[in-house]
Amino acid sequence: MKTFADRLRRASLKVAAFAAILGTPGVANAQADDWEVYFPQAASPLMQQIRDFNYPLQILIGLIVLFVLALLAWVIIRYNAKANPVPSRTTHNTVVEVLWTVVPVLILVGIAIPSFSLLFAQYDPARAIEDYNPDESITVKAIGRAGWYWSYEYPDNGNITVDSFIVRDADGNYAGEPRLLETTAPMVVPVDTVVHLQATADPTGVIHAFAMPAMAMKLDAVPGRINEMWFRADRQGIFYGQCSELCGAGHAFMPIEMHVVSQDQFAEWSELVLTDPSAANGLLDTWEEERLAALD
Ligand SMILES: [Cu+2]
């Protein structure tokens, strides 16, 4: 028979394995790894801050859960009816009451301060990036379309419009790779550049939401209204997101595919896509192959 110490050791090994999964170093793309349960690897400064903030919070929450559990166990064992034939008549304990009010308040205020500063930073790059220069940023407008796809417009770069449909085969079946995430033409942004992302939806359509977890982005796309957030991609590659507002029959089939390329590549793409969109797409594929080849 297994001793308690054996079980404890096995349990702690499991916890260590779980922690190793959480700390898996970055992969080429922002897709989830097998068995990944934590946030995606950060690809923007804000996502990195959110990850860094969340780790100590998880530990704090874990400690509080254990503490409350221990208190409950103590009360159940030490103060049950069997152990106390004559019930205590205690009704108040001022010290304990003050403590269980003040301590949680201090903990919550301690969490709220960095929390609010992150919330504000989501809408103001100057709060998260020291050398932020608005003149070097670009604007991309993401439009959630009623026919279940996204369009991207680049008002700073000669009125580019990209219609981004999910990939299907000749029979109309979903054929993309990764499954349900590949699009006919992705959103393209330059690396190390602040992108102001404006989200809206077809004026006669429904509400969608633009979500890109690796960049800490989630923004409602509402008909007749513009919402704005920013991100800065810190590494090149292909990143995926999905519509995150239940919008209708095609909700699961309007993926967001984002190619982060070098600034020179972005300049080249943004010229070419105006005249020859399919050549521009081919260029993106070539660049991605080159990037992956260079990683090996
Ligand atoms: Cu949608």
Q: For position 111, what pLDDT does the model report? A: 95
What band does 12 get if pLDDT is binned at 50, 70 and 90? Answer: low
**CA 225 to centroid of ligand 1, rounded, Å:** 15
* Residue-level pLDDT at 20: 45
Question: From the CA of 207, how far away is ligand 1's center (Å)?
Answer: 7
pLDDT of residue 22: 47
Confidence of residue 2 (pLDDT cuts 50, 70, 90): low
Tell me what pLDDT residue 87 has. Answer: 86
Higher pLDDT: 11 or 27? It is 11
pLDDT for residue 178? 87
Ligand 1 centroid distance, CA of 239 (Å): 18
CA distances (Å), origin 169, targets 145, 150, 173, 177, 274: 21, 19, 6, 12, 26
CA distances from 140 to 105, 143, 158, 226, 227 (A): 41, 10, 12, 12, 12
Q: What is the mean pLDDT of residues 61-85?
A: 94
In this structure, what token pair is assigned to residue 244? 């995150």
Residue 14 has pLDDT above 70, yes or no: no
Given a cut of 70, is residue 134 above it in pLDDT? yes
Say what the pLDDT of residue 11 is: 57
Among 136, 256, 292, 111, smallest CA distance to 184 is for 256
Cα 143 to chain centroid, rounded: 20
Give the domains, in start order, of the chain with CATH numbers: 4-126 (1.10.287.90), 134-295 (2.60.40.420)
Please give the Cα distance from 151 to 68 (Å, whole number): 50
How confident is the model at residue 296, as a pLDDT? Answer: 78
Output the DSSP codes for 2-20: --HHHHHHHHHHHHHHHHH
Q: How confident is the model at residue 226 (pLDDT cuts 50, 70, 90)?
A: very high
Would the pLDDT of 251 be above 90?
yes
Q: What is the bridge-based pairing of β-strands 217-221 and 208-212?
A: antiparallel
pLDDT band (50, 70, 90) for residue 38: confident
The Cα 31–Cα 41 span in angstroms is 9
Report the pLDDT value the prediction gives residue 162, as an integer from 0 to 100: 96
Could you tell me the pTM of the whole model? 0.82
Distance of CA 45 to CAs 9, 23, 176, 211, 239, Å? Answer: 38, 18, 30, 16, 15
Find the mean pLDDT for residues 76-95. Answer: 90
**What pLDDT sits at residue 21?**
46
Is 216:122 a contact under the CB 8 Å cutoff? yes
Q: Check: CB of residue 151 under 8 Å from CB of residue 145.
A: yes
Beta strands in the chain (DSSP E): 138-145, 149-154, 160-164, 187-190, 194-201, 208-212, 217-221, 227-232, 237-241, 256-261
**Ligand 1 centre from 164 Cα, in Å?**
13
The mean pLDDT of the chain is 89
Q: How far is the CA of 61 from the centre of ligand 1 (A)?
A: 34
The pLDDT score that the predictor gives to residue 158 is 87
Band of the pLDDT at 202, cuts 50, 70, 90? Answer: very high
Kindly give the distance from the C-alpha atom of residue 209 to the centroid of ligand 1, in angstroms, as a whole number: 6
3-state secondary structure of 261: strand
In the predicted structure, residue 24 carries a pLDDT above the cut 50:
no
State the helix-helix crossing angle for 263-275 and 277-295, rounded to 10 degrees: 150
How do residues 97-127 score in pLDDT, each as one tens digit?
999 999 999 999 999 999 999 999 999 999 9
pLDDT-derived band of residue 37, with 50, 70 and 90 as boundaries?
Answer: confident
Is the per-residue pLDDT at 188 higher than 90? yes
Ligand 1 midpoint to CA 219 (Å): 12
The predicted model gives 188-208 an average pLDDT of 96
Strand 138-145 to strand 194-201: parallel, antiparallel, or no bridges (unpaired)? Answer: parallel
User: Which amino acid does the sequence have at 34?
Assistant: D
Q: How far apart are the first and last CA of the chain?
A: 49
